[in-house]
Amino acid sequence: MKKEKIKPKKQKRRSRKISVSWYISFIVIAELAAVLGIATGLSYFLTNQFQILANIPLTVWVIIIGILLGIPISIFVNRALLLPIRMLSEAMNAVAHGNFDVKMRTSAPFSDIEKAYRDFNLMTEELAATEILKTDFVSNVSHEIKTPITAIEGYAMLLQGSEDLSEEDAEYVEKILLNSKRLSELVGNMLLFSKIDNQAIDTKVESFSLDEQIRQSILLLEPKWAEKEIELDVDLESVEYEGNKALMMHVWNNLIDNAIKFTPEESTVSIALRKDGDRVIFTVEDEGEGIAEENAGHIFDKFYQCDSSHKQEGNGLGLALVKSITDMLGGSVSTENTEKGCRFTVILQ
């Protein structure tokens, strides 16, 4: 039988990097030893050479030398420790804003920070995989749901036009049609969000009249404000704008619809558009109850609704969609409470 030599497996070399705690302990001990040694030697030398300094106690020399050595050592330690931590903080901030492609270098001066870097990279990989899975799921499921919803809405409209329906059946058909439209709107918003997040949306830029587009949005929402007998105070300057026409229509529709929704019956909604230098400023103001302080920081979050009882119609995507679109187009949207209600302001560059 042929003999085989079995070589022992080479053990992985352990990292010789020290931890932060050992590093700090070593620096402190070294500094104390250096301070005591230098202070004692300097005190002995100066008291022998200059009798005038003989009365200065050793404790004072220790304090003086400690301060003189402590300042440069503190600067060195801070640079060695805080720079990796600051880099990690900046990377974490990038992840918090949705950038999962950021990576930290796997080598660091200390074993603790090196392990934190590895764990951070693992976290971003898992978050990126989860984000891809979520995006694909939303996109695919939304596409699959949209077709049957459209079919249900179409059949409900056919039934609505039938003369053989009883009053009770007609009411059921109306509810089916209303909820199918709401569901269709939700799916459409989710698809649009998915396209914006994946930067797969058409970014075609064209020149068009903003004031005319806002008027179209007002007319489109006429059934809603007419039903509540809301008066519209409209002041629109003539503004030509270059941008994505379809996306801007989503902005006006959502903001004006939101104002109508939260304005009491027989109240006023004020809509204004003006040009301020290179900026275009749009405002819509309602006469509702305003936004509570605890809700102000979440008003533009996805699926967030101030009305937790869901008495008001909506899916919590409208304002989030407005912010995503304005951010993508280089603009901004903000909100503030007024004496009468709430005002939303869109600024376009």
Of 118-127, 135-144, 315-324, the range with the lowest mean pLDDT is 135-144
**DSSP string over 181-201:** HHHHHHHHHHHHHHHHHTT-S
Query: What percentage of residues in the chain have a pLDDT greater than 90?
Result: 16
- The confidence score (pLDDT) of residue 307 equals 57
DSSP secondary structure letter of residue 221: T
Among 147-161, 283-297, 332-346, top mean pLDDT goes to 332-346
**H-state helical runs in 198-304:** 210-220, 222-227, 245-262, 293-296
126: Cβ–Cβ under 8 A, 6 or more apart, which residues? none
- Tens of pLDDT, residues 49-73: 665 555 667 677 667 767 777 777 7
- The confidence score (pLDDT) of residue 235 equals 92
132: Cβ–Cβ under 8 A, 6 or more apart, which residues? none
- Tens of pLDDT, residues 332-347: 999 888 888 899 999 9
CB atoms within 10 A of CB 53: 14
Query: What percentage of residues in the chain have a pLDDT greater than 70?
Result: 76
Q: In whole angstroms, what is the distance from residue 336 CA to residue 112 CA? A: 45
Structural domains of the chain in order of their starting residue, each with its CATH number? 20-97 (no CATH), 131-197 (1.10.287.130), 206-348 (3.30.565.10)
pLDDT confidence tier of residue 109, bands split at 50, 70 and 90: low
More confident residue, 184 or 272: 272
- The confidence score (pLDDT) of residue 7 equals 47
Residues 348, 241 contacting (CB under 8 angstroms)? yes
Residue 262: closest CA among 314, 213, 201: 314
Residues 273, 282 contacting (CB under 8 angstroms)? yes
Residues 300, 238 contacting (CB under 8 angstroms)? no
Q: From residue 58, give the alpha-carbon distance in Å to each of 29, 30, 52.
A: 19, 19, 14
**pTM of this structure:** 0.57
- The confidence score (pLDDT) of residue 47 equals 66
Whole-angstrom Cα Rg for the chain: 34
